[in-house]
A and B are shown apart, each in its own frame.
Chain A
Amino acid sequence: MKRLLVVDDSKLMRDMVAACLRPLGAVTFEFAGSGLEAIERLALAGFDLVVLDLNMPDVGGVEVIEFVRSQDRLRALPILIVTTRGDDESRARVLQAGASGFLAKPFAPAQILDEVRRLLPSSVT
């Protein structure tokens, strides 16, 4: 079973992401509503992948990525960024900070499914 952490301050968005990724099969979802909450959860438990929205009320997504990457045990954690700022500059900044993948909103269900499949370590059908 793969553990996925979905981070977005909109409950609707969290539900939609989970719905898009359910076809993965053997996955469980946990949710966080803010960057800080995400950092806390990642510090206290192990996850296989994080889907992270950049626009958070407390801590910016880039800061979250940088902080997570600064933790030794989380260096290899796949982080998929989801954001409405789909421009190249944002994308570059985010990838430079250490994100593993980048997806612009709005996205189609198939797109996020493909990205997550690509990022998860072993094959999950």
Chain B
Amino acid sequence: MTATLHVTFRVGNATYAVAASDVLHLESYDTATHVPGAPSYVAGLVQVRGRLVPVIDLRIRFGLPPADASAPGPPASQAAIDRRVVVLQLGTRVAGLVVDSAREVLKIEDTAFERPPEIVVHQTAGFVKAVATVAKRMYLLVDLPRILGEELDHG
């Protein structure tokens, strides 16, 4: 009966989770330097603790309409203030995910994770690999390699 610490965050109407051991930093997010020619879901490059980190806008990645306050400049709304970038490590790669807001860090039992229902898989285009319900809340466990486009290498 092992429980692992997870970092959770909101994108759109759902709450997602990722293993805390994969998370390097949780930073506030303003804008990223746009990289022309990169896929549309790549917001661009940011500098975090002196390191160059490519960041993916999860709203776009998940097919949601982009957030309102995406233009650079002083924070115009609460939504913009809440935005975070979750900096993760996957193997030797370091990348960031832009999310609407960060939620609590909590322990989730390994056994609590189940396969997501078909409709969730379909709606999230395979980016969610498991679902867990904790204290009546539903958390969607993200498939990091898929989000970061890993399978494209083998494609």
Is there a contact between chains A and B in the complex with CB atoms less than 8 Å apart?
no
Interface positions of A (Cβ within 8 A of B): none
